[in-house]
Amino acid sequence: DGGITQSPKYLFRKEGQNVTLSCEQNLNHDAMYWYRQDPGQGLRLIYYSQIVNDFQKGDIAEGYSVSREKKESFPLTVTSAQKNPTAFYLCASSTPGGHGYTFGSGTRLTVV
């Protein structure tokens, strides 16, 4: 079955450590996105990529980094510079002219 896989589902890290969230898709979608969900703030765009080896900052990119070396993969690194990293992170993908996203099941990151 085609879809988007995010791993792990739950992640705990100590403050000051970098952590990388995985996102893999086998839908052959060109574009991939990372969103963050916080209570009462909806989904906010962190980074997106429309083609391999290219990506753009979203609305809240500070403290995050991404790479897009393969079409199928779009990992997100939460760096120690991110002031409030504890959140639910969602990865999504889409096709050109497509009108919607396919989302992964999310990763809950807790920084202690």
* Binding to another protein, residues 17-36 (CB under 8 A): 30-31, 33, 35
Binding mask 44-83 for another protein (x = CB under 8 A): xx--x-x---------------------------------
Nearer to another protein, 80 or 95 (CB): 95
Q: Is there binding between residue 86 and another protein (CB under 8 A)?
A: no
* Gap between the Cα atoms of 24 and 71, Å rounded: 9
What region does 53 belong to: left with phi over 0, alpha with psi -120 to 50, or beta?
Answer: left
> Smallest distance from the beta carbon of 16 to another protein, in angstroms?
26
Task: Say if residues 48 and 68 touch (Cβ distance below 8 Å).
Answer: no
Task: Say if residues 24 and 5 touch (Cβ distance below 8 Å).
Answer: yes
Let me know if 37 is exposed, middle or buried by CB neighbors in 10 A (0-12, 13-18, 19+): middle
Contact residues toward another protein (CB under 8 A) are 4, 6, 9, 30-31, 33, 35, 40-45, 48, 50, 88, 90, 92, 94-101, 103-106, 108
